[in-house]
Structure formats: structure tokens, C-alpha cells
Amino acid sequence: MPVSASPHSPPAPHASAAPRRRLYWHRLFFGLWYRPVEILDEARDRSVWGAAAFLCLLCGALGTLGKDSFWEGWRVGPALALEAMAIADVVLVLASLLLGIATQAIARRLGGNGKFGPTVTLFVVVFWATDLPRLALDACLPGDSFPVRAAAWITSAFGYAFAALLIRGQHHLPTHKAVAAVSIQMLAAVALLKFPATTV
């Protein structure tokens, strides 16, 4: 016969919280565009090194395909052109990580308390996921064409806003401090990557 609990017995301990569901890459990449606040909140405190590296390599390849110098090198020797693409990808990965590290350091300096891995990797994901439309157009159209230039302005605005949202949530900073934490890196990267002097 089961024993009924005494009315004065201590309450049973709460069941452990259900594990967070896995955040797949495609949900992270595309979710940034149609529900960024929910996706960034779901990704909070998660390090996504694999997703960040994949996006860097993909965007580096797309950016290389949009350069006339790559196709000129391809006609001379495909192996050398692919080697140049690989070198560009490695440089892009390192530069992206440096941008994320700088963002983490500035956010901490402004009073943030976010973790290193999630901040760095999610910053890289946000930057390159929002840049994918421009890179896709740039691989097919001339870099100085109107669709490419318009995409550069639009994706820059979205990337800036999403990066500020990311830092605000990760580091529990007010909006103005989150914007300040990403301003230098985002403006420098946008000027060098999306509006280089050679395409003006």
C-alpha cells in the first residue's frame, strides 16, 4: 500500500530543467533574418565555433569568386587559383576572429559580463550571415553594379543592428553601450570589405 506524504513533509525537489534543444546551423543562419531577437536569445551562452568557421570559409570562397583576379589566375592555372582562395580563406578566418575578440574586449571594458566563446563566435556568425546576400550577388554581378551596392548598404545596416542586439543580450549592456562596443569593428570591416576603394 503506498504511503501518502505527510502534510508537514518538505516539498520534493524540483525536477531538473529540461535540456535546451540543439540549435542547428540553418536555423541560426536564416533565423537571424526573420526572427533575430528570438534566435539570438536562444543562442545565448552557446559557442558556435563550427558554424563561425564554416561561414568564414563559405564567404571567403564567394568573395574570391567575385574577383576578376581569381578568374584570370584560373585561366593561367587552376591549382594556383585554388591555392590563393585557400590562403584568402585562412586570412579571413583569422581576421574575423580578431574582430570578435576586439568586440569581446570592448564590451568587457564597458561593463559587460558575457562569455568569450559565445561572444566571439556569434559575432562572426552575425557578421557573415548578414553579408551572404551581398556576396552571392557580387559573385554573379560586377562589384560596382547597383544591386551589389544596394545589397552592401542594406546588409551593413542589418549586420550592425544584429551585432548590437547580440552584445546587448550577451553582456547585459544598455543599447548605447552595445552599439559603442561594435561600432569600430563594424565600420572598419564594412569600409574594407563591402566598400573597398577599388570599387568606388
Half-sphere exposure of 50 (CA within 13 A, CB side): 6
33, 37, 42, 46: CA torsion to nearest 10: 80
Residue 188 has pLDDT above 60, yes or no: yes
Residues 89 and 91: their CA atoms lie apart, in Å, by 5
Q: Under a CB-based contact definition with an 8 Å cutoff, are residues 52 and 96 in contact?
A: yes
197, 181, 169, 50: CA torsion to nearest 10: 50
User: Residue 4: its pLDDT value, please?
Assistant: 45
Q: To 5 degrees, how large is the angle CA 165–CA 166–CA 170? A: 120
Tell me the whole-structure pTM to 2 decimals. 0.83
User: Residue 1: its pLDDT value, please?
Assistant: 45
Residues 140-156: tens digit of each pLDDT: 888 788 888 898 899 98
Residues 33 and 59: their CA atoms lie apart, in Å, by 17
Residue 27 has pLDDT above 50, yes or no: yes
**Residue 6 confidence class, pLDDT cut points 50, 70, 90:** very low
User: Residue 10: its pLDDT value, please?
Assistant: 52
User: Residue 148: its pLDDT value, please?
Assistant: 87
Residues of the chain with pLDDT > 90: what percent? 36
Residue 5 has pLDDT above 60, yes or no: no
Q: Under a CB-based contact definition with an 8 Å cutoff, are residues 56 and 93 in contact?
A: yes
The three-state secondary structure class of 110 is coil
**Residue 20 confidence class, pLDDT cut points 50, 70, 90:** low
Handedness of CA 189, 147, 134, 65 (dihedral sign): negative
Residues 148 and 170: their CA atoms lie apart, in Å, by 32
Tell me the average pLDDT of the chain.
83
Residues 132 and 194: their CA atoms lie apart, in Å, by 11
Residue type, 163: A
Residues of the chain with pLDDT > 70: what percent? 87
Q: Under a CB-based contact definition with an 8 Å cutoff, are residues 41 and 64 in contact?
A: no
User: Residue 139: its pLDDT value, please?
Assistant: 84
Is the pLDDT higher at 21 or at 163?
163
Residues 64 and 155: their CA atoms lie apart, in Å, by 19
Handedness of CA 24, 26, 30, 34 (dihedral sign): negative
Q: Under a CB-based contact definition with an 8 Å cutoff, are residues 179 and 166 in contact?
A: no
**Residue 193 confidence class, pLDDT cut points 50, 70, 90:** confident
Classify residue 145 by its DSSP letter: S
